[in-house]
Structure 1
């Protein structure tokens, strides 16, 4: 018998690794919840260690697998958007969402313009490519921001900071798309001397935004009626199966994309509308739990691959210029544009500073750059990926190390006990009450 006969094949190793990963998905949040360390940091470190093993020759570089990168990150984002929308307790009213509109209408456009100018001036990128990079890096991320988002449905974990960051991340992943399309049009149609402004405003702005919001609202209403209000014993809530949230996610995204509009925007609108059809029903816990578990598992796989990309040459084209730009995006541009957007908002200074500081970049940025580079040819794409990877790494490390102490300090300032109101404990208590009420 040879040594190869004793070695397990790749399938067995993959199965074992998947089991260990799933165990970490369940266990790590309990270990890290009170530590100044986040789950994404641990995942990236594990991925870097794993892909540093000499026997592992696979290099998970996004430039080598552009379509896989786009589709995988797309899936992770839409699951996160559904989860974010379902757990927002606040009723949708224009005035009550004012912090969201400020971050979307002022902070994000200012961030895109500033980042584009910085990339063109410091890195010497063409304006169209600089705009593509800026549109990819401006939105905050719904996937990696779970520690600063509102708690599960009906847990009361919804102060102005958590609500603002959750709703911003839910909507700006869809609202960044017009700027991505503008960059693609400038790089293709404008370069060829073809008209582009009418197509961008009429199709990519008005049509796709309007249809995305409208389709998301209709689908959310339909799923809400089928789940809670259909006058029959066959309504979906009777199943007790939270997979309905996954069905709503896929239907909303798929149908909206068939209509050539923004699926990201539609999924979040569907989730908020779905939640609003019967806001206080306990079934929202079941749906949220399913989306959260799928999201966490997919996120951990993605971040393991990201860690592997970091040690496989993702940052090989990065110089001090890219490092300076990445630092400015995280430490200067987002905080300043955030404070400008929040100027005049009736909120405590500490709340404004926290909202402005936690502009986490992550999976959404990876998706947008992959999408853009799959639609336009760029000579130095490895340089763009290096800068984006550096921004995501800086964001994950900086925000991951500071989120726990900052949010706990903010809770104490506002008269809340962060230990008593721990989201995991609250969710566990709520589930116990739900379980006792069920036959």
Structure 2
């Protein structure tokens, strides 16, 4: 394959990624499904001699590429959420009730369920089984666009008295299902880190009861607090500068310069990592704080658009390479154990853990943060796995020797593909039915 051929394939793939969201809208085929299939087809073509797509040969590169892809998605998710989180108001806590349940109950139960499957079914060592659970537990903000909120609501296009049908569509897009899945994906990518670190500490050996206190105090509490604090501080400072600066020249919102979103992403992530906090949480917290600085300003939509386009480009690259790797040996070590673990996670563990968390002492569906039975089932089911899982496995493998690493890569890749296919096929019709039912209930009320 010559350099010109590579450029041609990349150009055609980028064109495909640009067209796909419009072509597949309303049908049971998602852009990630098509991109993976295109990657698989490209992988069947002859590649230059010495070209390796084995992730174990490129752990550092895979780590950084998937890391940046997740970061871009986290910034986009934070800018898209229109529901503020004011920790001083109990009403905000109630409105976020489904998110807290998914984070504090569903994710630990999912980690436990997958770890037990890895130990009992796959015969993994306890530390490796825990790592598998931590890698596969977080839902993905990159590949879950079909079940997440869309663009941020702004006054320039969502003015009162506008087109009634458009306003109704926007309200449907901002429902509790999409909000819950979006906020969960934005937060649990960072909250899975303590369990990844616990698995790494166990793999390193010498983990005692004394180390449990260190893990809880630093990896669970300290790094989370630092990450959130740095993100909120960065978002507050940049929000004041962009929307409320005294000098017109420094007020970027009025100038319409959307690259502030990328500057905020890089600055908050770098600052959080420098002080030891979780950078993923910092980026999401920064994005939400930046969003609340000027919630109705059209600048929010401009920043989100830049982030969304960059996210689409990064997702294209990751999915194409993932598809190519699948037809060039990535699934070589997949066996029945990996298939069982993957399908059990997608079809049983996550849906059951999600439904238990949302249904136990469930809030009334007519109150803020309340979901009816159908909505709880949808939120529990649509826990998309994706790029975040690839990042966590690459991160762990680049920091510690991981037994059964080839099997882990095959199993995690198969899980991502299974999630992309299953959730991609079901997302559009399921969400359409829920939107139609919600519209009928709203019109009757």
- Which residue matches 1:75? 68
Shifted more, 322-331 versus 16-25: the winner is 16-25
1:18-37 alignment, distance < 5 Å: 18-37=10-29
- Which residue matches 1:377? 401
CA apart distance, 1:233 = 0.6
Structure 1 residue runs without a partner (length 5+): 1-7, 418-439
CA apart distance, 1:64 = 1.5
Question: Do the aligned partners of 1:48 and 1:311 also contact (CA within 8 Å) in 2?
Answer: yes
Question: Do the aligned partners of 1:136 and 1:369 also contact (CA within 8 Å) in 2?
Answer: yes
Shifted more, 144-153 versus 19-28: the winner is 19-28
Question: Do the aligned partners of 1:315 and 1:387 also contact (CA within 8 Å) in 2?
Answer: yes
- Which residue matches 2:179? 163
- Which residue matches 2:217? 202
Q: Would you say how many aligned residue pairs link Structure 1 and Structure 2?
A: 408
Please report the RMSD computed on the Cα atoms of aligned residues, expressed in angstroms: 1.6
| 2:399 counterpart SS class | coil
Asked if 1:406 corresponds to 2:430, the answer is: yes
- Which residue matches 2:81? 88
Question: Do the aligned partners of 2:396 and 2:402 also contact (CA within 8 Å) in 1?
Answer: no
Asked if 1:364 corresponds to 2:363, the answer is: no
Q: Measure the CA separation in 1 of the matches of 2:325 and 2:412.
A: 12
Asked if 1:354 corresponds to 2:369, the answer is: no
Question: Which whole-Å deviations, capped at 9, do the CAs of 1:216-261 have from their partners, x for residues lacking one?
Answer: 1000101101110111112111331211111111111111111111
Q: Measure the CA separation in 1 of the matches of 2:46 and 2:8.
A: 19
Q: Measure the CA separation in 2 of the matches of 1:54 and 1:120.
A: 39
Question: Do the aligned partners of 2:75 and 2:307 also contact (CA within 8 Å) in 1?
Answer: yes
Question: Which whole-Å deviations, capped at 9, do the CAs of 1:327-383 have from their partners, x for residues lacking one?
Answer: 101100000000011011331111001000001000000001111111111232100
- What stretches of structure 1 move > 6 A for 4+ residues in a row? none
TM-score by length of structure 2 reads 0.89
Q: Measure the CA separation in 2 of the matches of 1:253 and 1:22.
A: 28
| 2:57 counterpart SS class | coil
Question: Which whole-Å deviations, capped at 9, do the CAs of 1:293-313 have from their partners, x for residues lacking one?
Answer: 000111011000000111111
- Which residue matches 2:166? none
Shifted more, 90-99 versus 401-410: the winner is 90-99
- Which residue matches 1:41? 33
Q: Measure the CA separation in 1 of the matches of 2:213 and 2:180.
A: 33
Q: Measure the CA separation in 2 of the matches of 1:62 and 1:81.
A: 24
Residues 124 and 166 of structure 1, relative CA distance in 2, 3 Å threshold: same
Question: Do the aligned partners of 2:101 and 2:358 also contact (CA within 8 Å) in 1?
Answer: yes
Question: Do the aligned partners of 1:122 and 1:321 also contact (CA within 8 Å) in 2?
Answer: yes
Residues 309 and 408 of structure 1, relative CA distance in 2, 3 Å threshold: same
Q: Measure the CA separation in 1 of the matches of 2:389 and 2:9.
A: 27
TM-score by length of structure 1 reads 0.90
- Which residue matches 1:391? 415
Q: Measure the CA separation in 2 of the matches of 1:183 and 1:195.
A: 16
Residues 308 and 115 of structure 1, relative CA distance in 2, 3 Å threshold: same
Asked if 1:326 corresponds to 2:342, the answer is: yes
Question: Do the aligned partners of 1:186 and 1:196 also contact (CA within 8 Å) in 2?
Answer: no
Structure 2 residue runs without a partner (length 5+): 86-91, 154-169, 365-370
